[in-house]
Structure 1
Amino acid sequence: MEVALTVLALLVITALSGLLGRLFPFRIPLPLLQIAAGSAVSFLGFSVPLSSELFLLLLMPPLLFVDAYRIPMREFGELRAIILSLAVGLVVFSTVAGGYAVHWIMPAILPVAGMALAAALSPTDAVAVNSFLATAKAPARLTQILNGEALLNDASGLVCFKFAVAAATTGLFSLKAASSNFVYVSFGGVLIGAGLGWLFARIELMALKRGYDDSANHILISLLIPYIIYLAADAVNCSGILAAVSAGISIRLTGVMAETQIETRLRATTLWDQLYATLNGLVFIMLGQQLPGQVEQASHIVQSAGLTPWMLPLAILGIQCAMSILRAVWMVANGLVFYGVGKLIHRPQTLPSWRNVLVMTLAGARGAVTLAAIISLPPESDMPERTVMVVLATGVIITSLLLTTFGLPRALALLPRNDGETPAQRELLETSITLLHSAIAALQAEQARQPPDANRTNDTVSLLMTELNERLRRLDPTLDDGEGKRSDSVQRKRDELMLRLRIVRLQRRVLHSLLADRNINDLTERAIGRQLDVREQEFLMELNDLPQLPEPPPAETLIAAVPVERKNAGLRAE
């Protein structure tokens, strides 16, 4: 019972934090608000003991799985060299150089123990990075690099952390053993995830070909897949995190979701979106829950060691500055290397500007993986610096999140603005135009196959041809005759869709009134309500896809609020 109440309490806090964010007159990033909410309830006495293994198992696999499933595969392939250099090279560099920086800032922490702390701080958190980038309107290329880095650097960071801890506790370190173990953990996790993901997808495709497409079971299996694959990789001491990531990519490449029914796809997308938002909030709330305990530990350390009260906060800021500087140095060096290699192979590369380096540096937020790693440190009998390191790591997590929250939007504002059409918008428009051309060509072929006396079929084809050609004239700027006909067509369509949306919402109110008057039963209301929901979503998507032409005339109110008169036999709109 206690476990159930704890889970329910965490979900309530997650939901309330989202509602509170909308009540403030100014915008507060949701991750920061959730951390504050977690800290507030912890001060009030609600505390959840945190286990490294449970934290990684329950929250991280589905989050990383869906991030990987939705990653742009074309751009990920094009940027693989840059992403790998950050996911592996930067982590190793930050571990070694950061360890000596930690020792310089806190001489009581030996360099090898400092490397363990730096290794835990090296991976950027995929959940935190994605949460901030989703609302920061970062350029697409930077977003793809940062997301790719955050998805892949967990394994390298955890391997470096493992060997640094072993060296700190035993005094032994083997570069050969560390390298071979890194290859085993990383590549083993990737192979297990990709292989099992492909196997699950093939089983699902075989079931679909035999007519088995139960949406509820399909969605349930998709929710279990990241956990199964994570546990399978972890059972053989490989990276469960990389296994979940590679499984998401593997299943995406099989195209299994495209073979399911439309109802399955819609329900799965909705459920995964909700699960992602919920687990994402739980991650940050759990991070916030640890903050009061770490502050209390920090005060005990200060009192017992006779240090000044500002010693630990200054050390946290110093370590954050050191890790940020190391990240910026690697970004610059990485850019120079790629620029030089590009010149040698005659593939010109542009040097990163100081603005891009600043954005990439500020986007290096730490989060769940760092916390999970640092709380798995051995007890103080084996590692005397444990308590101090946990406090420092928690402080750096919070500091990095604050730095990303308040610094990243200002850094992004320094980048050159693109007020015109973005490459993503252009590609979307060109794809829509291509699909329209293919549909028109198919209708023309159908029209040519029909006998001249097939009046009904020809009338249907002609009607569809007229509709598609009108849509093509609205989307394709090359068909604009310069006389304002395209603008008029777009505005007419926008007015039509607004009218349709108002009518659908009116119909929904009438439907609810019919149910309230018991003129229809719940099954009828639910069936027609679902049709209205799909229709409204279709109109909204079509409205958002209309081209944004300069200075459109103001839309008039096409339908006013309609009073509804209730009758025993039904409703009549007046």
Structure 2
Amino acid sequence: MEIFFTILIMTLVVSLSGVVTRMLPFQIPLPLMQIAIGALLAWPHFGLHVEFDPELFLVLFIPPLLFADGWKTPTHEFLHHGREIIGLALVLVLVTVVGIGFLIYFLVPGIPLVPAFALAAVLSPTDAVALSGIVGEGRIPKKIMGILQGEALMNDASGLVSLKLAVAVAVGAMAFSVGGASLEFFKVAVGGLLAGIAVSWLYGKSLRLMSRWSGDEPATQILLLLLLPFASYLIAEHIGVSGILAAVAAGMTITRSGVLRSAPLTMRLRANSVWAMLEFVFNGMVFLLLGLQLPGILETSVAAANADPNVELWMLFLDVAMIYFALIAVRFLWLWSMKRLSLRFLKKRPLEFGSFTTRELGIASFAGVRGAITLAGVLSIPLLLNDGTPFPARYELIFLSAGVILFSLFAGVIMLPILLRNVEVGDKSLSRKEERLARSATAEVAIVAIQKMEERLAADSEENIDDQLLKEVSSRVIGNLRRRADGRNDVESSELEENLERRFRLTALRSERAELYHLRATQQISNETLQKLLHDLDLLEALLIEKE
């Protein structure tokens, strides 16, 4: 019963955190608010203690969130930025593990070299969800954000695989060699991608078979879609490859395969709504759980530091700041090096970094905030080695990881708004031009299809449709489409007409809804009729509001 109440309280806190954030007289990012609320709830005075199981956390929260990110990631843009993403998500992770690992070894007393590499590995993944929560959607230029999102999708896996190898060496489960580690890394990464693609392909096949046997039942199809990221993750982990990359690959494959594109309308609409709700709840839970762990981490670390004669507590706080600034420096220097490399040696096909200004390099550097994957990774470090002795400096690793997470979030809150001031996010005129082009092209195709349908219906004797009625209806529909197709010639007039028409339609729909409730209140229609007509109005209103 205690677990049930804890889940209810956490869900309530997540749902109210956004309201509290908007009510404050000053602006604070939602992730920081959720972390702060979690820390307050876990403080000894309140006593809401949630046992953090890293394995359960990785299975429950990470697969659906990464699947959703993979689903929303445009595959063409992801592949277009493939070299930049590999440079950050793979090569930079390895540079970070080695460079920051040696720094931690020399900087922090009591941390041996291999655990230092483990800490550097767990600090290497960035968190795009935390970044969006800090700066808001659409604040970072698209050319930067596309690369950062792709990096965050991939470096979770590379960082955790590096951590796994470092921990295996530390506990004595394997002997380290560059060749063996590289082969293991390649096997785990490629195997995870292939596993995710295979599971997603099987889902598409099963969805088509179910549609053929049981019809278009959206509830069953959505339930299978919800299970897909967990199935991808668990199957991949079971065969010894990356479950994180499997979840990402499954999400991206769903987009490319066209499974959802050919799915029934009801299923697509409900799936989008369900995933939007799950993303909100799970993202909030992740940051709330992070906050709930902080008092316990601080209390344990303080007690352990006081008992350790080689460690001063104030030095741990100083180490957090030094490690974070070292991470920023390594990231900035790597981005700058890739820019110089692109300008000097890749003139025919330059990297996107070649066009980055110094300010944009700074944005990309401070945008590398750390989040829940880092905390889950460091808490997954075992308590004991294979010989039964305690894992060296485990409390220091946890304290430093939690400190760097918070430091990166606060640094992002301070620095990113400064760096983003007066930065052009994107060419809005280009977006409007693309939208007009798409509307015009689709309208032309639709007109041709309607004309062919009109000819077919006129020639079909079984339809028995009056020619005048057929002509009148098709002309009315074609007239609306023709105005949309010709809107590119008079852009302002076309947009004004569309906005005015939308406002009239919304006013009409809301009046119809009010009248339906009145008819039901006066017992002139049944509840079944009310619900059916309300559903139709809701779909129409959702379409109109989506265009605003």
* TM, length-normalised to structure 1: 0.87
For 2:326 and 2:520, locate their aligned partners in 1 and report how far apart those are by CA, in whole Å.
64
CA contact (8 A) 1:136 1:409 kept: no
Three-state SS of the structure 2 residue aligned to 1:204 is helix
> 1:398: Cα distance to partner?
1.2
- Tell me, yes or no, if structure 1 residue 405 matches structure 2 residue 413: yes
Residues 1:142 and 2:144 aligned together? yes
Equivalent position SS for 2:77? helix
Query: 2: distance between equivalents of 1:369 and 1:117?
Result: 13
Q: For the Cα contact (< 8 Å) 1:128–1:367, is it kept in 2?
A: yes
Q: Structure 1 residues 337 and 391 mapped into 2: Cα distance closer, same or farther (>3 Å)?
A: same
The offset of 1:403, in angstroms, is: 1.9
Distance between the aligned counterparts of 1:48 and 1:468, measured in 2? 57
Identify the residue that residue 124 of structure 2 maps to in structure 1: 122
Matched, 1:177 2:190: no
* Aligned residue number for residue 559 of structure 1: none
Which of these residues, 455, 464, 474, is aligned with residue 461 of structure 1?
Answer: 474
Aligned residue among 336, 340, 344 for 1:336:
340
C-alpha separation between the residues in 1 aligned to 2:199 and 2:357? Answer: 41
Unpaired stretches in structure 1, ≥5 consecutive residues: 481-485, 545-574
Match in the other structure for 1:48 = 50
User: Partner residue of 1:187?
Assistant: 190
Please tell me the root mean square deviation across aligned C-alpha atoms, in Å: 2.3
Is 2:542 the partner of 1:537?
yes
Q: Which residue of structure 2 aligns with residue 526 of structure 1?
A: 531
Q: Deviations over 1:176-230 (max 9, x none)?
A: 2211111111111111111111111122123334562210000001001111111
Aligned residues: 532
Q: Name the counterpart of 2:65.
A: 63
Separation in 2, partners of 1:348, 1:390: 36
Matching residue within 374, 377, 390 for 2:378:
374
Residues 72-111 of structure 1 correspond to what in structure 2 (within 5 A)?
A: 72-111=74-113
CA contact (8 A) 1:113 1:164 kept: yes
Give the superposition deviation at 1:153: 0.9
Q: Hey, what's the Cα distance between the residues in 2 that align with 1:130 and 1:150?
A: 12
- With over 3 angstroms needed to count, the CA separation of the structure-2 counterparts of 1:514 and 1:63, relative to structure 1, is same
What SS does structure 2 have at the residue aligned with 1:259? coil
Higher relative contact order (CA 8 A, sep 6+): 2
Conserved? CA contact 1:324–1:361, under 8 Å = yes
The answer for the alignment partner of 1:570 in structure 2 is none
Query: For structure 2, which runs of at least 5 residues remain unmatched after alignment?
Result: 460-465
Q: Report deviation, 1:348.
A: 8.0
2:255, 2:188 → 1: CA distance? 23
Paired amino acid for 1:3: I
Query: Does the CA-based 8 Å contact 2:66-2:247 persist in structure 1?
Result: yes
Distance 2:160 2:21 in 1: 34
Q: Distance in 2 between matches of 1:138 and 1:89?
A: 24
Structure 1 window deviating more from structure 2 (280-289 vs 460-469): it is 460-469
Are the counterparts in 2 of residues 155 and 185 from structure 1 also a CA contact under 8 Å? no
Counterpart for residue 153 of structure 1: 155
Residue of structure 2 equivalent to 1:246: 249
Cross-structure match for 1:571: none
* Counterpart for residue 281 of structure 1: 284
One-letter code aligned to 2:445:
S
User: In 1, are the aligned partners of 2:139 and 2:425 still within 8 Å (CA)?
Assistant: no
Decide which of 143, 168, 171 is 2:170's aligned counterpart: 168
CA shift, 1:523, in A, is 2.3
Structure 1 stretch displaced more, 100-109 or 369-378: 100-109
Instruction: Supply the distance in 2 between the matched residues of 1:409 and 1:518 (Cα, whole angstroms).
Output: 56
Alpha-carbon contact 1:130-1:147 (below 8 Å) kept: no
Which amino acid letter does the alignment assign opposite residue 387 of structure 1?
Answer: Y
1:470 — aligned with what? 483
TM-score normalised per structure 2: 0.91
Q: What is residue 387 of structure 1 aligned with on the other side? A: 395
In structure 2, the residue corresponding to 1:257 is in which secondary structure? coil
Give yes or no for the alignment of 1:364 onto 2:368: yes
> Quick one: percent identity of the two aligned structures?
34
Q: Structure 2: how far apart are the matches of 1:25 and 1:532?
A: 37
Deviation, 1:69, is 1.0
Partner of 1:555: none
CA distance in 2, matches of 1:533, 1:86: 44
